[in-house]
Chains A and B, each alone.
Chain A
Amino acid sequence: MKLGLRWPEWRLPDRVGWRDHVIGAALGLAYVLWLVATARSLGFPRDEGVYFHAGESYVRWWRLLLTTPHEALKPNVIDGAWSFNSEHPPLMKTLFGVSWWFFHEQLHIFQDASTAFRLPGMASAGLALWVTYLFGARAYGRVAGLVGAILLGLMPRVFFHAHLACFDVPITAMWILCVYIHWRAQAEGGYLWAIATGVVFGLALATKHNAWMLPVVCIPHALCVHREAIGKGLRSGQIVIPSSLVMMALLGPLVMYALWPHLWNDPLGRVQAYMQFHLNHEYYNIEFLGRNYFSPPSPKAYLPVMVVATVPSVTLVLAAMGIGERAKLGALRAWSWTRSWVAPAAEERPKADAAQTDLLLALSLLVAIGPFFLPKTPIFGGTKHWMPAYPVLAIFAGHGFALIRRRAHRVLEPRIGKRVWRVAAEVALTLSILLAPLLTTAHSHPFGLSAYVPLVGGTAGGADLGLNRQFWGFTSQTAAAEYLNAHAPRGSVVFIHDTTWDAWSRMQQEGRVRSDLRAAFAPGEADFVLVEHELHMNEVDYSAWVGIGTDAPTYVVQHDGVPIVSIYKRR
């Protein structure tokens, strides 16, 4: 029976425009909604508790500035509000606080204060997907952009960190936004794009210190794009500097300074202290291949192994295909350019990309990961510290998919006549590459730091390899949900191990942990002991054996059969 239904015929114009912003924004919004929907099952990592506190302090000062500015601008009042956690820049903590103030305190949109605190971080993840789509669409076509953005969101570690009121996903978003705006500034010219580049660079500086490396991406790229104008200028005795770079140099620090009152009382001294903190950062413990690293030199294999073990394999293969194709084209261009010097006009040269997109993306990727091959770079953050590389990796993966799709079209179109089958083939092809990232990402929650991809055997495979199980002490919430809330006698004392007091008390305020359970900081003082498994935390485990009088846990929180938290009960 023929129903007479027809697929709606709609086609986007060739030129990427406002409709693509709608697509990117919709993609980002869907991701944010997914994050909000899953936020309550994720406990609070150590750092979040600190940033919640900082957010409250900072927003209190901003409110004071609006109501009694002369009081707020007193040096001691500024320092009183902004000295807390001054080792990290202010933008996200301010946004955490603002979001908490409006969406929880004033508008009561979120019942959990924590969700309101976390919203800006989640929104930054949405922004990262949006920009990734736009960048990919403009660089290599809409399919590349769309699939790239989706694959970025379907990286289990990105999904985990995107939930948090921390800085790693926000700097990922600001990084790719800055690179994108810089790229547009080179292509479009004009002061507006240049100013936008400077402002976004400033916002990135105010987000996290990874932004210090953005000039290493933007300067060589801009010099390459404008090399002819720069050379011409030099020959006529002028120094030509691309306007976007000038704006980065001028507006970048200015924006950071404006947003960070902590700097106002002693700008140079405090910037120096901020930089010194990160250049001489403490080395925390992290397990890699069964060994605990706590000091330099960091293992050079850390980044490659962790990327392979945590990013879905199909995404990496697609990215390798995309990079390979672009590298091949680049090599052809270079070869043709070299030949043109030897035998001018001997052959037609491949069309050059005036915006040097491939170079920019390659720089963005390499600069984001480069420091992690240096022996002195701490590796304690697992994969989160090189996440700014992932949007570009995803764009290349999207491009890899577009190449496959093109080939599939060439092969299948002559063989499949009916449109419906062509659509089915298209859907099947897309699902074949998105399904594994989707399933592994959804399954990893809320153990995103424990989960590893199927290539290395999943969570158990990661444990077999001796890869880090978790950090930050957030799994105490799961321990409460699975055992303590139901079994601990009223008023029990619980050793909360790596969980901070701030995090524990907030979990109690929000009803995630029973409010009568009292936190202890020594296993020997507790009725129940939590041990969050990490290699270097074994010492706490053994201390608990003596302190509580047994080495046998009464319950073990597991993810895919791998111990995450042991719960001991005093005998």
Chain B
Amino acid sequence: MLVPALGLVEVGAHLLQADWSVPDADWTGARQYVVANASPDDLVAFAPRWADPLGREHFGPTVATLAREARPDEARFPRAFEVAVRGAHVPSLTGWAKETVAHFGRVTVSTYRNPSPVRVLDDLVALVSAGSPRVRASRIDGGRETDCSYVRGAPQTGGLGFGPAVPGDRFACPGGAFVGVSVVADLDYVPRQCIFAPPSGATLRVRFRDVAFGDALRGHHGVYVEAERGKTGAPVTLSFKVDSGTIGSVVHRDGEGWKSFEFSTPNLRGQAGELVVDIGSSGDRRLYCFEAVTERQADVP
């Protein structure tokens, strides 16, 4: 009689699972709590990953901002509000100290404290995104540098395989190259807001004026998943320079995914100056994107 019993257990399990969903009131309660308690510097993240669209729907773009949704990593956030259903957890918050837990029906909001937060001094993505006059871009072909003009317009998008959206507000360079902020699907299909700068066989140079330097220059870079996953593309080199010389350079090779880098800048700490970023590759369809910040280790309270 075990099999009929199993059949009935399956019926029971189905009845429990069928039409499972999170009531709108639970999301609303969780949102009100997060809005009341989170500061703009805090991370708000949804778990499990598949519930992210529901979180964005109910929390809206002012809470589920691009900076939070398409974050490069969690290091810059001093605190995180994890909004979870089904007992899920944001894996990258493992190791953070849990501070509070609040339940709103089927939604649980937990707050976590970052054990080693960093203080961002200048964020290159934010500077490009805002169309800051502190930023200039150019294209270098065989030693000849040509300025890229800053244009505003509608983004260019497409379906599967088109690649990341070409931002409407961007530096438009000769030969179709450009520099602007977009959201790229990395090798794991995770969103990354970054400076989209496909080198197109030349070197793209981006100059950032009056950058405040701290202990380190840290960032990530990667290539749009469909251009990277076949592992047939040419490497992309990213280098950072200041007047006094090169801070460092890093190479991204296909298959490395969203790759982090960090250069110590103790000699530049407390100074401000021009940061020159060069992006170069010999290959085609290098739909390359990077982000970087200058930072100082924050004082842990």
Contact = CB atoms under 8 A, between A and B. Distances in A.
Interface in B37-81: 48, 50-51, 53-54, 56-57, 59-61, 64-66, 69-70
Contact of A543 (B54, B61, B88, B165): B165
A464 B6 CA distance: 23
A524 B189 contact: no
Contact of B17 (A314, A317, A460): A460
Interface stretch (A67-75, A181-189, A554-562): A554-562
B66 A561 contact: no
A321 B157 contact: no
B183 A561 contact: no
Interface residues of B, number: 60
Interface string A517-558: 000011111000001010111111111111100111111101
A554 B60 CA distance: 9
Contacts of A439: 11, 14-15, 18
Given A321-B3, A429-B4, A439-B11, A539 B50 contact: no
B4 to A, nearest CB: 4
Interface stretch (A253-261, A267-275, A373-381, A430-438): A430-438
Most chain B Cβ neighbours within 10 Å, of A313, A436, A469: A436
Interface stretch (B140-148, B206-214, B222-230): B222-230
Contact of B10 (A313, A533, A558, A563): A313
A543 B57 contact: no
A492 interface: no
B20 A561 contact: yes
Contacts of B48: 463-464
A215 interface: no
B185 A542 contact: yes
Contact of B189 (A318, A525, A536, A554): A536
A566 interface: yes
B185 A539 contact: yes
Contact of B156 (A294, A436, A524, A558): A524
Interface stretch (A163-171, A223-231, A414-422, A451-459): A451-459
Contacts of B175: none
Interface residues of A, number: 69
Given A539-B189, A561-B22, A460 B86 contact: yes
Contacts of B154: 524
A454 B7 CA distance: 11
Contacts of B226: 539
Given A432-B8, A498-B160, A539 B61 contact: no
A292 to B, nearest CB: 7
A170 B154 CA distance: 47
Interface string B226-245: 10011000000000000000
B182 A546 contact: yes
A571 B60 CA distance: 12
A299 interface: no
Given A317-B6, A454-B13, A538 B185 contact: yes
Most chain A Cβ neighbours within 10 Å, of B1, B159, B183, B185: B159
Nearest to A460: B20
Nearest to B226: A539
Given A455-B10, A546-B167, A551-B66, A522 B57 contact: no
B28 to A, nearest CB: 14
A314 B224 CA distance: 44
B7 A539 contact: no
Nearest to B68: A551
A434 B4 CA distance: 9
B109 interface: no
A463 B54 CA distance: 14
B17 A543 contact: no
A538 B191 contact: yes
A286 B47 CA distance: 22
A440 B157 CA distance: 39
B146 to A, nearest CB: 26
A432 B11 CA distance: 9
B93 to A, nearest CB: 18
Interface string A345-365: 000000000000000000000
Given A436-B11, A524-B156, A524-B165, A542 B20 contact: no
A436 B3 CA distance: 12
Nearest to A566: B53
A552 B20 contact: no
B35 to A, nearest CB: 14
Nearest to A428: B4
A464 B86 contact: yes
A145 to B, nearest CB: 19
B56 A553 contact: yes
Most chain B Cβ neighbours within 10 Å, of A461, A547, A562: A547
Nearest to A294: B229
A312 interface: yes
A336 B270 CA distance: 89
B299 interface: no
Contacts of B10: 312-314, 436, 440, 453-455
A546 B155 contact: yes
Interface of B: 1, 3-8, 10-11, 13-15, 17-22, 48, 50-51, 53-54, 56-57, 59-61, 64-66, 69-70, 85-86, 88, 154-160, 162-165, 167, 182-185, 189-191, 224-226, 229-230
Given A524-B156, A536-B189, A551-B66, 18 more contacts: A292-B189, A294-B229, A314-B10, A400-B3, A443-B18, A459-B17, A464-B86, A525-B157, A540-B159, A540-B160, A542-B70, A542-B183, A547-B155, A551-B65, A553-B56, A560-B19, A566-B57, A571-B61
3 tightest A-B CB contacts, nearest first: A458-B17, A561-B21, A546-B165
Interface of A: 292, 294-295, 312-314, 317-318, 321, 400, 404, 408, 428-429, 432-436, 439-440, 443, 453-455, 457-461, 463-464, 469, 497-498, 521-525, 531, 533, 535-547, 550-556, 558, 560-563, 566, 571
23 contacts: A317-B3, A321-B3, A435-B8, A436-B10, A439-B15, A440-B10, A524-B155, A539-B160, A539-B163, A539-B189, A542-B183, A542-B184, A543-B164, A545-B191, A546-B165, A547-B155, A547-B165, A551-B69, A551-B70, A552-B57, A552-B59, A553-B53, A566-B57
